[in-house]
């Protein structure tokens, strides 16, 4: 997650309360999604950005996870996401995201 997005997430959590924020990611690999998820829950593991040492504990999901997929209009999902979903390792992404939530999500 780039430094500007880290800054935005931190500002939103401060403004609206971390318990009111849900981060939805769209990384193409489980490892990349996991790194971004860890950043918004446990703090920046690279120690380079505004979330270094900041444990927000935010709820975080990947757009292809069932919990998010069912919230999106089916036609919109089909048009915007379904093509990518065919080439992603969804099981790996879900496993990575679930692990991060179990370890670090506070809300």
The pLDDT tens digits of the residues spanning 47-79 come to: 999 999 999 999 999 999 999 999 999 999 999
Contact call for residues 21 and 59 (beta carbons, < 8 A): yes
**Domain range enclosing 32:** 3-104
pLDDT at site 85: 93
Q: How many residues would you count in the chain?
A: 107
pLDDT at site 65: 98
Report d(CA 49, CA 69) in Å as an integer. 30
- What count of other Cβ atoms lies within 10 Å of the Cβ of residue 3? 12
Q: What is the number of domains present in the chain?
A: 1
b/e per residue 24-57 (b: at least 16 CB within 10 A) = ebbbeebeebbbbbbbbbbbbeeeebbbeebebb
pLDDT at site 61: 98
State the pLDDT confidence band at 94, using cuts at 50, 70 and 90: very high
pLDDT at site 101: 97
Beta strands 59-62; 22-25: pairing state:
parallel
The percent of residues in the chain predicted with pLDDT above 70, rounded, is 100
State the pLDDT confidence band at 36, using cuts at 50, 70 and 90: very high
* Angle CA 13–16–19, to nearest 5: 70
pLDDT at site 76: 97
């Amino acid at each position: 997650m780039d430094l500007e997005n880290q800054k935005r997430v931190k500002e939103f959590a401060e403004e609206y309360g971390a318990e009111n924020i849900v981060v939805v990611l769209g990384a193409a690999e489980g490892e990349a999604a996991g790194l971004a998820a860890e950043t918004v829950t446990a703090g920046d593991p690279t120690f380079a950005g505004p979330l270094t040492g900041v444990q927000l504990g935010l709820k975080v999901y990947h757009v292809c996870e069932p919990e998010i997929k069912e919230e999106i209009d089916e036609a919109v999902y089909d048009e915007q996401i379904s093509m990518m979903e065919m080439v992603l390792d969804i099981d790996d992404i879900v496993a990575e995201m679930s692990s991060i939530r179990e370890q670090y999500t506070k809300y």
